[in-house]
Structure 1
Amino acid sequence: MFRLFSLVVIFLVTAPAYATKLLIVGDSLSAGYQMPIEKAWPTLLPDVLADKNHDVTVINASISGDTSGNGLERLPSLLSQHHPDYVLIELGANDGLRGFPPNVIERNLTEMISLIKQDGASPVLMQIHVLPNYGKRYTEAFSAIYPKLADSHDLPLIPFFLEHVITRPEWMKDDGLHPRAEAQPWIANFVADQLITHLQLP
C-alpha cells in the first residue's frame, strides 16, 4: 500500500502541468502567408507566452484565403480533433475583400461561436477591418460586426494587429495587405499581451 501511494505521489510530482490549449482559426494573416510557417506569429506565440510565465499549447489551423464560411465548415472537425480550451477566431478579411454582405459574415461567426461553446471551449474574437475603398457604409457595417458579437455573446474582443503593423511600411509586403516575417515577433507579443489581459491563463 505504501509503495502504491509512493508511486502515485511520484507521478503527481513528475507529471507535466496541464497546458491550456488555444486553437487559432484564421486566414493568411495567421497562416504565415509566403513565409516559412516557423516564422509565423502563431508559431512564435507559445514561446512568447512562456516568457511571460504562461504555459499554452497553440494549434494553428489557419488557411490562406479562408472566409468565415470556410472556417465554419472546418470548425466541427477541428474541435473534435483538438478539444481546445480557447478558440481564437481571426476571420472575415477575405469576406470583406470579396464584398460579402455583413449579415452573412455575422451569421457565420455566430454559428462558429455557438459550436465552440457547445464543445465546452471559450471563443475569442479578433477585430477585423477592411480597406476604406469599399465605401464608408460598407466598412463601418463590416467593422461593427465584431463588437456587436462580442457584446451579445460576452466574448473577449482582441484589437486588429494589422492596424499597428500597417503604419510600418518596412513590415508590410508589397501587396499592402500582409505583414512580412520581420513583423511576426511583434505580432506574437501583441497577441500574447491581449490573451493574458482577457483570458484566464495558467
Structure 2
Amino acid sequence: MAAEEQSCCGCCCRLIFTSGLTTLFLWLSLRVNSPTCSIENFTVFALNKTANSSIISNNNNNNHTIRYDLKLNNKDNKDKGIYYDTLNLTFYYKLNQTSVLLGNATFKDFYQGHGKKTHRIATIDGGKGVKWENDTATTASFRVELNTSVRYKILFWKTKRHRLDLSAVLLVDETGSLIKRKKKGIKFTSKAWNSSGCNVMVLGILGFLSFILFW
C-alpha cells in the first residue's frame, strides 16, 4: 500500500512538473512586447550656426526644412509580427519655455515581421511662425509625439488593437544636428500601453489550457 501511495505521489509530482514546464514554454512563446521606437537622425538646417560665411548662414536661416529618421524595431518579439495602424507624428519646438507646433506627419498602416527594422525618413517644413535666429543657445530642444495602434500576429491569430502613445525629447547642437547618446538614437518613452495587459490575457488562456490538458 505504501509503495502504491509513493507511486501515485510520484506520478502527481511529475504531472505537476510537466504541466508547469509546458505552461512556461507556452508563456514564453506567446508573450508579446511593444516595438522599440527611436529617432535616429534629426537635422534642423536653420539652426546651423557653424557656417563659415554670412551668405551660407543666411541660406541656412531661410531653410526651414527639418529632416528626420524614425526607426521602428521589432527586436523583442520572437516569431511575432506587428500590424501598425496609421502612424502619426507631431513635432514641437521649445523656445523660451514655450512650445511651438512645427508640424505633423502621417504614415499609412503597414506590417512589420519579427526581428525586422523599419525606417521612415522624411522632412517637415518648420518655418511657420518660427524665428530661428532668436535661438542663441548652444542647444535647442524639440519634442516629438508618436501615436498609433498595434496588433500582434501570434501564430495564426491577431491580438486586439492596443494604443501606443509615445514621446521623445530631442536636443540639437549648434550645427543643427541631433545630439545622440553613445552614438545611438533617442528612444521614445512614456508609454500609455505596454504588453502587460495582453500578457495577462495570454496567462489566462494558458491556465485554462493547462487545466483542460492535465486535469
Q: TM-score, normalised by structure 2?
A: 0.30
Structure in which a larger fraction of residues adopt helix = 1
Q: TM-score, normalised by structure 1?
A: 0.31
Structure in which a larger fraction of residues adopt strand = 2
**CA radius of gyration, larger in:** 2
